[in-house]
A and B are shown apart, each in its own frame.
Chain A
Amino acid sequence: MSFAARPGPDRASDAHNDPRPRPSRDMQGSVTPLSILGPQVEAQRQRIREEFEAGASARETLQALCAMADGNLQQIFAQLLSGRGVESQGLCLLALGGYGRQLLFPYSDLDILFLFGSDKAERDFRPLISEFSKTLWDMGFRVSSAGRTLEECKRIEEDNAEFHLALLDRRFLTGDRELFERLDSKVLPGPEKQARPFLSAELRKLTRERLTRYGNTIFHLEPNVKESPGGLRDYQAATWLRRVSGEKQEFWNSTAAEEEMAAAAVDFLSAIRCFLHYSNERNDNTLTYELQAKAAERALGLPVTAVLDAQRSPAEWMRVYFRQARTLNRQLLRYIEQKSAGQQSLRQRIFNATRVPKIEAVNRTPFAVRDGLLEVMDQTALADRALLFSLFATAAKTGVPLSREAERTIAYVMLHPELPVRNAEITWPAFQEILASDFPGVALRPMQRLGLLTKILPEFAAIDSLVVRDFYHRYTVDEHTLRTIEHLQELASPPDSRGTNFSVLWKMVDRRDLLILSLLLHDVGKGMAADNHVSGSLTALESAAARLQLSPEEKGEVRFLIERHLDMSATVQRRDIFDPTTVSGFASVVQTPERLQRLCLLTYADIRAVNPEALTPWKAEMLWQLFVSTSNHFSRTLDRDRLHALDEVPVLQQVRKLTGSAGTEDIERFLEGFPRRYLAVHSAPDIAAHFSLYQKLGADPVQIDLVAKQRAYSLTLLTADRPALFATIAGALAGWGMNIMHADAFANAAGVVLDTFHFTDLHRTLELNPSEVDRFCKSLVDVIRGKAPLEVLLKSRESASRTRAPKVEVPTRITFDDASSMHSTLLEIVTQDHPGLLHEIGSALARLDCNIEVALVDTEGQKAIDVFYLTSQHKKLGSQKQETLRESLQGALS
């Protein structure tokens, strides 16, 4: 810590802060010549270094260095006084900061305060101090000094909190001891007590700034053992926080075991810092790859008896480093969260005395939100692990993080299972709930810290604190992985322009749980013995999928994302993304728009988490461009690629197996002519279910299947194609107050239409009245078969659901595209979503004799995005017809 740059009271040291080496010279007066002292000091330094190399502990080394500095400094000071024939009355020297604590690292500065009894003493001693400092420099001591009179020490300098914090570690060195006693016992205690709130606030501020500078993580590939989170500065800041709080030891609620762990961590990190200083021969605290290897080779900081061969590998040794760093960082962060009355100003204390802390209970659970953090209110309840996981699910859904105290409670409960544990195994649906939430990282981060993540996903342990040498990556593999997820969740409100485009995707992406699971596993292979990390990660997926009981479709999606997690980035960087061939080639790999969305988000997050600068605006733009081109390619080429059932032997076999007695020819007839997307978006069991409905068409020409999903319903309908069919179904759903979110409409070669509608039940009619489900299904069938008039249904709904004014205005945009499809005209409509919209569009199309070959219906908030492949009398729409249709739609949608 340097105070030298500060003007004013530092004037006594201004003349001698130049660190440049000076030529050796003899000192003036009758003192030991520098030519004798210099080599003596160097020999002492060398001896201490050799002792360290021979196995002396860091603590012994630091104390020896401190004693060596003290001795030399006292000797020089005494000789200068004696040479000038003066006494030290009115001047004393204090050691501050690390030197004050008697922890002096080999190439650290000596933080010294010259304390004067008066202004006159300062003037009188100035020449002596100048000579003293020059001598120290010449002997190889790096001095960082400040000067204050006793009077000046009574004031707290609000622009120099660092000085006051260093002053907390003051230690008498030499000179006028009575002056020091006055400062230590009379002058400083009052102002220091008064300044507690100020010092506490400043210390928190400085600490947060420092942690932010290092990305708020201990997991740097080449950490700075002093300043990085988890470094020695964390321990010092925690110690200062305790001291400036004025609270008793019990307030901090640290157990003896925690104190011991912290002390061991300090010893370990101190040994590394000594090693770094000696290796670099300067005050450089960066633990580089090269020095990691050397430190691991000599098992630095590890007890001799406990050294295993494995710990001699740099990766294993670094894991020990991160464990120790985590101890110090965890302690500091807990202290920062903890607030004491002593850290508050008088005004704050008066204000807080009148106010009860706000605690919001979380839905009849043993948790509560206090000061924006989740707290555990009933520790014993955590014996039920289902409740414990629900705490993490709450954090993931709300974005409210767990307090450090809550984490500590959980850690205690997990280590001391006095109460019988219930529901110990987490199920895939419970884990899914966390992964599919808006803030999965808020839960996964503490789960990893507490070891819960590796309980659910033991495969993740392979990358725990794993350093993989890489020119671009800045963090360990596990940290990189968690950052990918955090970068996605921050897309809810993107921190900068690089995320703006991708924000839309994050909000609408389907199966977010599979995306997050893929991210958790995508680099696990880096910690496994595998040919390449992707194949390792895929092996890990096999065991994870079996344990979590993922369905084959879920596993297939995760497999795809892991296997292809580098493809989109490689395409952006190595292919001409403006070339349609590149886009169609990439689309054929990805296969569906849903996968494309997930892969795009994964790629965005994966690049962004490499280091803060890895995703440049340039790369983000290229990635988005490829996404948009490929997405448009999908929606414009739907009818280009039709299924030929004979080419789809594996699917045929699977469907046949699932349907039992069905004949292959029947299945072929059913599949023939559907757009290829049909296979891409439906699993074999889905297709088998559709085929079963198809088989019943002979008995009943309208077949429907309604499935209730988590927040919506899915309706599948099979029937022979007929005019205005799509409009009729959409109208019937609107008549029941259902809001269509997505829809697909496909037809096979035989003219059988397969429509899938995903809708929400706006008025919860089906949820609150289960008996209405049958009536609803019958009503749909009746309307489609013409047995019940649609108009009556729509009329009854009209009066009940006057739509409210939209929150966001979406202008209507109608586009025709004749070039993308060989057979159809593409119509894209983007407009304000509202109940009944699809019926209005479908009716307008039917009135003008337009046949819907394929439809893709989607919504994004209050925006409807619908694509229709249209023909009229088996041909594309002519330009006149397009204009008429445009006018008709504009009239209907305005």
Chain B
Amino acid sequence: MIKLEAIIQPSRFESVKDALCEIGIEGMTVTEVRGHGRQKGHTEVYRGREYTVDLLPKIKLELVLPDKMVDKAVDTILKTAKTGKIGDGKIFLTRVDDAIRIRNEERGENALQ
């Protein structure tokens, strides 16, 4: 099993979510986050006050997937989250030892379904 974490543009979230649903991935955890990589923030002035946005708003998706689904999920996210501009985000993959469904204590990939 692989844990997939994707940091994406908030404006792409709905499309990414719908595309993942279409390939059969419905379970995910979504978090509103702030941060920056190469895309630095910027400053706006409104009525004499400076508003500096140095940590930009992003959406973090977290999914744990059976190994066989990982490539498909990554491709889907790449296709739907990409705008080609700086700030499109990143995908991180890490191996997961086990998963346990709390309701019935199922383990492993069975717990993911």
Residues of A within 8 A of B (CB): 501, 504, 572-578, 616, 618-619, 621-622, 624-625, 628-629, 631-632, 810, 813, 815, 828, 830, 858, 860, 863, 865
Contacts and interface: CB of A to CB of B under 8 A. Distances in A.
Interface string B16-40: 0000000000000000111000000
A862 to B, nearest CB: 12
Nearest to B33: A618
For chain B, which range describes its interface: under 10, 10 to 19, 20 to 34, or 35 or more residues? 20 to 34
Contact of A865 (B9, B34, B48, B51): B48
A813 B32 contact: no
Interface in B21-67: 32-34, 42, 44-48, 51, 53, 56-57
Contact of B48 (A578, A621, A813): A813
A813 B56 CA distance: 27
A632 B51 CA distance: 12
Nearest to A813: B48
Contact of A574 (B14, B32, B46): B14
A377 B32 CA distance: 53
Nearest to A508: B47
A860 B47 contact: yes
A576 B48 contact: no
Q: Which of A578, A625, A813 has the most CB of B within 10 A?
A: A578
Contacts of A631: 46
Given A576-B83, A624-B51, A863-B47, A618 B34 contact: yes
B113 interface: no
A625 B34 contact: no
Contacts, number: 51
B57 A576 contact: no
A578 B44 contact: no
A863 B46 contact: no
Nearest to B53: A625
A632 B10 CA distance: 22
- Listed from nearest, the 5 A-B pairs whose CB atoms lie closest are A830-B48, A618-B32, A628-B46, A576-B11, A628-B44
A858 B10 CA distance: 34
Contacts of B83: 576
Nearest to A829: B48
Contacts of A578: 42, 56, 87
Contact of A628 (B13, B48, B51): B51
A628 B33 CA distance: 21
Given A618-B57, A619-B32, A576 B47 contact: no
Contacts of A828: 45
B46 A622 contact: no
Contact of B45 (A501, A632, A860): A632
Contacts of A577: 11
Contact of B57 (A621, A629, A632, A863): A621
A297 B10 CA distance: 43
Nearest to A831: B48
Given A575-B11, A576-B9, A622-B10, A629 B47 contact: no
A629 B53 CA distance: 12
B110 to A, nearest CB: 27
Contacts of A860: 47
16 contacts: A573-B13, A574-B14, A576-B83, A578-B42, A618-B32, A618-B33, A622-B10, A622-B57, A624-B51, A628-B44, A632-B46, A810-B48, A830-B47, A858-B47, A860-B47, A863-B48
Contacts of A504: 47
Contacts of A574: 11, 14
Contacts of B34: 618
A504 B47 CA distance: 10
A629 B48 CA distance: 14
A475 to B, nearest CB: 23
A752 to B, nearest CB: 30
Nearest to A625: B53
Contact of A625 (B13, B45, B48, B51): B51
